Amino acid sequence: MGGPQREFFRLLMIEVQTSMGIFEGKAGQVFLTYDQAALDGHKYFQAGRLIAWSVAHGGPCIKALDPSLYQLMCGQEPQLEQFDCSVLPDPDVQSRVKRILQCKTAEDLSALQKDLGDWISECGVPGIFSATIGEIPKIYAYVVKHYIFLRTAKMVNQLTEGMNALGTLGPVQEEQITGKRGGHDIQLGVVLNIEDKLTELTDLLIFITGADEVPTLGFPNKPSIDFYTQEAGMRRLPYASTCAMTLFLPRGITEEQELHNILNQSVKDSWAF
């Protein structure tokens, strides 16, 4: 329970995203692979069920589906004319889609029809050979939609079925890590002067809670800060209880950089859970 459970699900979601072979792309821009063997083996269903299992037990989700793909999965219609094709994981597809985006003149269109017309038609755009320059943004959007969503529709459905196997998922809740000292709130990000260092904040969250993000269903209570008194002649580094989600900091340190240094040492020197 508590910290070990959050650590387990954090590591499980890393494995689901990186080792099952059903996701591709970098964190925040993840797409589903087109893998018929994985589909027949119900790997997408298994991944969906593991994700739901993690969320239902206070763990994280994967990091994270491409926003446009997620909107399409939810039945919405994102503005794919503005889709950033550089996030597509297949360099060959990325090059072809970029070629459509860069089509600006009649000569460009003629060359595009000659070189990629058949491929674009196979993406569900049969009117490419009679298209005009003004229709290029819509053609671009259709090709993107085909590649990131329609092509993998069966995979998406199987993943969704796996996630629904354990019921619905709740909304994300945002929490702050705060503590009290002498009646005053301490915003930890300000104390450590790492407001924009996301990697350090993620490492710190793991150190305190065992999780690398606020779980989808939120923490059972807010992470907190407590303080201890250094023993004479001793140098005790900051430590944490992941079950209680409490960070323990030494009293008597007045320099912000010194506090940052010893806390950073504690976080960096700790390995996994």
Give Cβ neighbours of residue 209 (< 8 Å, ≥ 6 apart): 3, 6, 219, 223, 242, 245
Provide the β-strand partners of residue 226.
248
Which stretch, 4-13, 98-107, 160-169, has highest mean pLDDT?
A: 98-107
Sheet holding 224-228, edge to edge: 224-228, 246-250, 239-241
Q: What is the C-alpha to C-alpha distance for residues 42 and 22, in angstroms, rounded to an integer?
A: 11
* pLDDT of residue 231 exceeding 60: yes
pLDDT of residue 258: 84
Of the candidates 61, 74, 103, 243, the residue annotated as catalytic is: 243
pLDDT of residue 171: 29
pLDDT of residue 167: 62
Mean pLDDT, residues 195-204 taken together: 62
Mean pLDDT, residues 109-128 taken together: 95
Strands 31-32 and 246-250: unpaired
- Asked if 126 and 117 count as a contact pair (C-beta separation under 8 A), the reply is no
Mean pLDDT, residues 192-196 taken together: 39
Identify which has the larger pLDDT, 5 or 142: 142
* pLDDT of residue 146 exceeding 70: yes
Q: Is 243 a catalytic residue?
A: yes
pLDDT of residue 1: 57
